[in-house]
Amino acid sequence: MNYWLMKSEPDVYGITNLEQQGKTVWDGVRNYQARNFMRQMQPEDLVFFYHSNTKTPGIVGLMRVVKTDIIDPTQFDLKSEYYDPKSTLNSPRWQTVLVEFVEAFANCISISVLRGKFDADELILLRKGNRLSVMPIVEDVAVKILAMKGNSLNIEPLSIE
DNA sequence: GCCAACGTTGGC
DNA sequence: GCCAACGTTGGC
């Protein structure tokens, strides 16, 4: 079982949306490195849900991989902003995963708190200029993050959105 | 294959 | 809103 982190802008799709829906196909990833990490995912893997591009960016919850190797349907959808004219039905470029909601943390573990706890070597998220939206988390770090989720000393309140 | 120009990401 | 860092595009 492996751990991952995936980013989403809460204005577009946040942890609340996933909680309501229960499951979602993580569509719209158009970066090869991120896609390649999703190809490595296995059912039962745990994924931290990260809110990016918001007042308090950080980890807000947990989800679980249900099904892998899903063809991202938006690549064929002319009306989608993720439509990819170079993708064909015979050889689709973009695969993704189906994930299910596990939990929403009581508080956001903000990137500044994560910076205080980990360094860039152990957490890709913290690397300078990092823009990757899907990344692996080593177990040691994942366990520490999970231990932080209930510790009010280490967290900041979720901003009201 | 190089690389400048451009568009996007995302923290601050 | 700013802007550094990054990925992609396309001319050559």
Question: What is residue A160's predicted lDDT score, i.e. its pLDDT?
Answer: 42
Residue A19 has pLDDT above 60, yes or no: yes
Q: What is the CATH number of domain A3-153?
A: 3.10.590.10
Q: How far is the CA of A21 from the C1' of C10 (A)?
A: 42
**Is A128 exposed, middle or buried, given 0-12, 13-18 or 19+ CB atoms closer than 10 A?**
exposed
Instruction: Assess whether A124 (CB) lies less than 7 A from strand B.
Output: no
Entry field: residues in chain A: 161
pLDDT digits (tens, 9 = 90+) for A117-152: 999 999 999 999 999 999 999 999 999 999 998 765
Per domain, the residue ranges of chain A are 3-153
Q: Which residues of the protein are close to the nucleic strand C, CB under 7 angstroms?
A: A 31-33, 127-132
In 3D space, the residue among A49, A47, A51 whose CA is nearest the CA of residue A10 turns out to be: A51
Which residues have a Cβ under 8 Å from the Cβ of A8 and sit 6 or more positions away? Answer: A14, A49, A50, A51, A52, A133
Q: How far is the CA of A98 from the C1' of C2 (A)?
A: 36
Q: Which nucleotide is nearest to A30 (CA to C1')?
A: C7
